[in-house]
């Protein structure tokens, strides 16, 4: 299955939608595992992006 590339805001929005569906008990057993995997992948992507941005900001601040 191909993974769609999300920008940070889209990823956060998707995670929030999954959480909302989970909280409202809208996820059945058949889709729960798939949605948890999807959320985990999105969270990892967000963490990676935040780390990259933090490193870039630190480089800029160190250069000044």
Statement: residue 15 has pLDDT above 80: yes
Mean predicted confidence (pLDDT) in 46-53 = 94
Mean pLDDT of the chain: 89
Mean predicted confidence (pLDDT) in 2-23 = 86
How much is the pLDDT for 4?
59
Statement: residue 2 has pLDDT above 50: no
Please state the three-class secondary structure of 10-52 as a single string. HHHHHHHHHHHHHHCCCCCHHHHHHHHHHHHHHHHHHHHHHHH
pTM score:
0.79
């Amino acid at each position: 299955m191909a993974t769609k590339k999300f920008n940070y805001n889209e990823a956060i929005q998707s995670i929030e939608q999954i959480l909302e569906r989970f909280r409202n008990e809208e996820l059945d057993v058949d889709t729960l595992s798939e949605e948890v995997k999807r959320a985990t992948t999105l969270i990892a992507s967000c963490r990676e992006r935040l780390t990259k941005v933090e490193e870039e900001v630190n480089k800029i601040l160190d250069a000044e």
